[in-house]
Structure 1
Amino acid sequence: MPAPLDFIHALTWHDIPAPVRAQIELSLLDLIGVAAGGRQTRLAQLICDHATSEFGGDIPILFDGRPASASGAALAAGMTIDALDGHDGFNPAKGHIGCPLLPSALMLGHQANISGRDFLAAMVMGYEFGARAAIAQHATVPDYHTSGSWGAVTAAAAGARLLDLTPDQTRHALGIAEYHGPRSQMMRCIDHPTMVKDGSGWGAMAGVSAVKLAQSGFTGAPAITVEDTPDFWSDLGTRWYMLEQYYKPYPVCRWAQAPIESALAVQAAHGLNAADITLIEIETFHESVRLANPHPTSTEAAQYSTCFPVAIALQNGTVTARDIADEALNRPETARLASAIRMVESDHANAHFPTKRLARVTLETAQGRFSGDWSEPRWDHTSPATAAELRAKYHGLADPILGRDTADRIEESLSGLEEMPLRALSDQLLRPINP
């Protein structure tokens, strides 16, 4: 069997280095916090209604409690996380591993009543598998597809492990997921932001469905981006991509975050008042320039904008979920600042994408022009967020939605999950929000 298929079932909790074990807890906490924040969006409300009405079953929906099938519950959870663009990501993937992975592992693991340790090991395996699946796909297909495309194969890998599929069934699960996973066009959603987002929910649904089909005898092998790309898989178990994920301080596209950091740095260095700024020039890479929409009419468009969150940051010093909610999009001063932004594509920034996302901002006032240095987003793995910062982010998102007591219980359950059944955590996640 190819090395990645062996890795799916062979990796044990004891094989995983201690720093990787610690990091998976923080990544899960981050994803759960983002899901809590995303649950209040209209996108999440619609997809949860859809899952319970169209996917009959007995798995409760994340932060909802109504029943659906494992595939439907995974769809709803993936899109709920994706509804608030604040989850972790991986630069070489140009996307997000955890968003399609967690829903599949959570729903199938809950259904199978697995141990917390098995769940955690499956999640680590999924991050390692998903990182390489993404790199392999981006290197071998012509279009830039959303995370749901390779995320479907990643979800199937986690599900195959959790349901203890045979090696042959696992091959077919990956092949089914690759064939039916959403090869959705990322730049279409960048140019025309809507609720389809990064395809992660559909990827989770396709992955779970592929596992269930393969388990019943349905065939679909091979997954070409797994089996025909050996060069991308040779460092499995030696290089831990779990330690190379980034996290987001702001709930907007990663491509907008370097401009935010550069604008805030220039503003602070020169003591500039947002009301005095007349021009904002942002030099950055092509994909970020494509996010230029200064006047979003929905939270989805606000999250996939460079101009709008930069304008918010210059006013408020940060960008929060509340700042990019549907009801917060018509503030006159934010609109003025966003209209004052000029986007400039930079060859220097293009040359470093996707491993680095660079931006340099110049702010102009009546007193002159003030330029900054090239900036990168915060909380990249080269300058990572601390555990305290990620826990504070989790509570900032989860507490207003879940209530502090519930958020604390989830955090405590996750911290002790290695020695508990998964349901000690999942029973708290798969119930209605009741702060």
Structure 2
Amino acid sequence: MTNTFLRVADFTLQTSPQNMPYSARRSAALFLLDTLGIVAGSSPMAAGVIARDTADLLYGTNSDKFAARMMFDGRKVSIAGAAYAAATQTDNLDGHDGYNPSKGHIGVVVIPALAALAETVADFSGPEALAAVIIGYEVAGRAGISLHDTVDDYHTSGAWNALGVVAMAARLRGMSVEQMCQAMGIAEYHGPRSQMMREIANPTMLHDGSGWGAMVGISSAILAEKGFIGAPAITIEGENVEEHWKDLGEFWQMEHQYIKPYPICRWAHAAIDATRNLILESDLKPDDIKHIQVNSFHEAACLFPTMPNNTSMAQYSLPFAVATMVAYRDIGVEHISGEGLRDPLVESILKKITVTEVDKHSARFPTGRWADVQITLKNDKVVSSGDIHARGGPEEPMNEDEIIQKFMRYATPGLGQERSEKIVEAVLGFLEPESKFSDLGALIYDAPKQH
């Protein structure tokens, strides 16, 4: 084991919640809440139903010690199956958080892993739950940066967020340093290093590979507990990535994630927000507009260019997202599914949109997600947004009330007002030392009831 791995192990296994900054713990609570909203909101979507049914069919267990209820479903499967199902459905709503430097998503596996692992261990405190969340984010985020920095391909988040899941399992299940080391090596080796731009070119339910990242992470931890040996995790132990781990426990990545205002690929958000600013400031209606010019970075310009015919395409279509914002001044689940995919008003606006890659925005990626928009009106007047960075991150964060409102918007249709409000109370209560994970656990496993 290298000194870098030993530092990661010490941080993972020994850091008490009290030694983590309050600001990081508060961020963890808010991101936990935000992700729970997306898990709940994605439950009835086709990808979520398929993932849970598949976990029930294929990823069960004959041991209660390794069983967990699937979130907002209630059926018992293996820990790995439960984490897989929740992460897959969350990935497919695409309203979950992310981290710019890692070019991907962490909470999508951290929260499903927390819920699954909690079913296999004794009840623990709310502060310990937040500590596990923070550890998952801090380890996964640095693993992502390390992998992107050392390989040429643009891979999905499942390739590296599995390591954050291993760290959480090691913490919550009391694994040894040796077991954690082997589990990291197994998870990195088997992490789904799938091609992100391939999914962008042909949007499907595959999304960011995080369902498999969650499954690999949990499976690797159990394999290591049983004595399986893995190769060293080079995203931690390689000499060429040592610099990415030096600030572990000093710089808290947990405080620098972004929250998505819309269930759309983050690459489109700067263009959406630039358009939103213009239509609100000038009170523009769809009939006022002759043409919309969107300038953004290369990856954003590669997003699906025409009217989508399924939810995955809608989430990966920048012109569709911009057209929806113009039409409704908002983007919700109703716009990216069902009749929203056949909206003649949105289609008519989409035909007026041109998307162009510009060097200044491409140079800022991935640490920045920028765009600028010019709208030409029918009287030939042009209104311009200037350079806009996507809302929801450290540059322009959403406040606590906005995050709670977002959670309620996604959770309430399925869970009802009372249950959703109790989840908010339980999660924010984790900041108090007397709180228990079971305060939340009582609310997140049972299937939604009719109300």
| Matches of 1:278 and 1:297, distance apart in 2 | 25
Residue 257 (1) aligns with residue 269 (2): yes
**Partner of residue 153, structure 1:** 163
> In structure 2, what is the equivalent of residue 423 of structure 1?
438
Q: Is residue 283–residue 360 contact of structure 1 (8 Å, CA) maintained in 2?
A: yes
Match of 2:12 among 8, 11, 32: 8
SS in 1 for 2:293: strand
Q: Pick from 157, 160, 177 the counterpart of residue 167 of structure 1.
A: 177
Matches within 5 A, 1:127-146: 127-146=137-156
Partner of 1:76: 85
Q: CA deviation at 1:177?
A: 0.4
Note the C-alpha offset of 1:365: 2.5
Q: Helix, strand or coil for the counterpart of 1:278?
A: strand
Deviation at 1:285, TM superposition (A): 0.3
Alignment of 1:194-273 (within 5 A): 194-228=204-238, 229-273=241-285
Q: Is the 8 A contact 1:256 1:309 kept in 2?
A: yes
Aligned ranges 1:91-102 → 2 under 5 Å: 91-102=100-111
Mark the runs of 5 or more structure 2 residues left unpaired by the alignment: 62-66
Determine the C-alpha separation between the residues in 1 that align with 2:311 and 2:138.
31
State the alpha-carbon separation in 2 of the partners of residues 95 and 339 from structure 1: 30
- CA contact under 8 A between 1:299 and 1:325: conserved in structure 2? yes
Corresponding residue of 1:295: 307
Residue matched to 1:26:
30
| Distance in 1 separating the partners of 2:38 and 2:77 | 22
8 A Cα contact 2:135 2:164, kept in partner: no
Given the two structures, how large is their TM-score scaled by the length of structure 2? 0.94
> In the aligned structure 2, how far is the partner of 1:113 from the partner of 1:340?
57
1:313 aligns with 2:325: yes
Amino acid of the structure 2 residue aligned with 1:225: T
Answer yes or no: is the 8 Å Cα contact 1:297–1:326 preserved in 2. Answer: no
CA contact (8 A) 2:139 2:163 kept: no
Alignment coverage as a number of residue pairs = 435
Of the three residues 411, 417, 420, the one matched with 2:424 is 411
Moved more, 377-386 or 21-30: 377-386
Q: Following the alignment from structure 1 to structure 2, what is the Cα–Cα distance between the partners of residues 101 and 269?
A: 38
Structure 1: segments with no counterpart, 5+ residues: none
In structure 1, the partner of 2:64 is none
Please state how far the C-alpha of 1:105 moved relative to its aligned partner: 2.3
Secondary structure at the aligned position of 2:152 is classed as coil
Q: Does 1:59 align with 2:74?
A: no
Measured in 2, the distance between the counterparts of 1:70 and 1:209 equals 8
Determine if contact 1:88/1:246 at 8 Å carries over to the other structure: yes
Equivalent position amino acid for 1:423 in 2: S
Q: Is the contact between residue 285 and residue 350 of structure 1 (CA under 8 Å) also seen in structure 2?
A: yes
Tell me, yes or no, if the aligned pair for 2:109 and 2:213 is still in contact at 8 Å: yes
Q: Distance in 1 between matches of 2:205 and 2:399?
A: 31
The verdict on how the C-alpha distance between 1:340 and 1:397 changes in structure 2, with shifts beyond 3 A counting, is: same
Paired residue for 1:399, among 399, 407, 412? 412
**What SS does the aligned partner of 2:93 have?**
coil
TM-score by length of 1: 0.97
Structure 1 residue 34: deviation in Å?
Answer: 0.8
Which residue in the other structure is 2:43 paired with? 39
What SS does structure 1 have at the residue aligned with 2:446? Answer: coil
Greater shift, 41-50 or 156-165, is seen at 156-165
Q: SS where residue 49 of structure 2 aligns? A: helix
- In 2, the alpha carbon distance for the partners of 1:419 and 1:433 equals 28
Measured after TM superposition, the shift of residue 320 of structure 1 is 1.1
Identity %: 39
Contact preservation (8 Å) 2:304, 2:313: no
